[in-house]
Structures are given as C-alpha cells and as structure tokens.
Amino acid sequence: MTKEDKAKLIISELKRLFPKTKIALNYSDPIELFVAVVLSAQTTDKQVNVVTADLFKKYRTIENYIKTPLSEFEQDIKRIGLYRAKAKNIKATVEIIDKDYGGKVPDSMEKLIELPGVGRKTANVLLYNIYGKQEGIAVDTHVRRLSNLFGLSSNQDPNKIEKDLMEVVPRNEWGEFTYRMIDYGRAYCPARCKHTDCPLRKFII
C-alpha cells in the first residue's frame, strides 16, 4: 500500500469518527483568532480558552492591544506559558497589522510568516479559518505524533512533516485533516496510549 492510499484510508476513517470538526480555540474575529493561536503554542487549547474568555472582554478592538502597555498585557496573559515572549510578539504584530494591512490579518503565507511569532503552523491555521485557504497543513503535537505513528512521515521537524503530509494528503483535505487528527489524538490515542482500543490501530507501523 502506498502512503497516498494509506492516507486516504485514514482520512476516510477519521471522517467516519468525526464527521464534523473545527478548531478548538474560541474566537469571534480574525484578530482574536490570531491572539488565541499565538497563545496556544506549547499550551493546551483548553487553558487558552480559559484565559481568552476574560481577555477578549477587555480587548475588543485592535486598538485596545496597541494602546495597552506591554507590562499590563503581560499580566493579562500571565497564566499562559511563555507569556512574556507571546505578549511581545502579539503587541508587535498587531501594530504591523494595523499600520501595514489596515487592521486586517494578511491573507498570504508569505506575508504572515514575516510577522513576529508567526510560523507556518500559525499561518496555516489563520489562512484556513479566516480565508478558507489551504496553503499547507498545520502540524501540532498530535499531528506530529500520529503522522509518525501511522508511517505518513518519519521526520520530527514540523516543517518537514508538513511537506511529507502535503505529498500524500489530498489538498482539499488539508484544512480539516489537522483538526480530525487532533480530535482523534484527544478522543482515542493520547501520548501514552497502548493502542488496545484505537480505531485506527491497523494503520500503526
């Protein structure tokens, strides 16, 4: 069986298990999504949603982020890991978005990855959820682990894993593939799973 055939079978099973899927982060506009995605690095989506529940009540516009002193913003997100670096990146990026893009999140991979704190994973999430663009596959910890487990990639670097996946996953599936893999990891196959009850255990190499 080729990796392409295997990927299609895995996707079919994931669709059966999770007919509907979406990003787990809560947000109501593109700027909120950007903030939530940056905060989610090396932190659980659940914890991010707890913090942003209060944060988004205070920061309702891009101007709120720009005008708030960095030290104050740091305190507002200090329950998040790496909050100082994230605060600095968010503040710097919203200023660029406001000044250079009229307050709108850029709609291309090239422009997004130039922003502070934005790599391909974040850019892929923003492009798909804001603009419906499938430029690549967002590789988080679940996607990385399961891609290795299923033999879809032997790499550990997220960018190399993304490249491997883009070669075997049909492009029209790129956006939702990430979220179904995350759903599967959370519901059936966590990090220390023994795979005795995993619906997709037949695909494990």
**Residues carrying an active site annotation:** 121, 140
Task: Return the residue matching tokens 């104050």.
Answer: 72
Closest CA to 25 of 117, 93, 122: 122
What does each C-alpha distance from 8 to 2, 30, 51, 139, 204 come to in angstroms?
10, 31, 37, 18, 15
CA atoms of 4 and 97, how far apart (whole Å): 38
DSSP string of 96-165?
HHHHHSTTS---SHHHHTTSTT--HHHHHHHHHHHH---SS----HHHHHHHHHTTS----SHHHHHHHH
Closest CA to 43 of 85, 73, 101, 6: 85
Closest CA to 180 of 148, 149, 151, 137: 137
Q: Are 51 and 39 in contact (CB under 8 A)?
A: yes
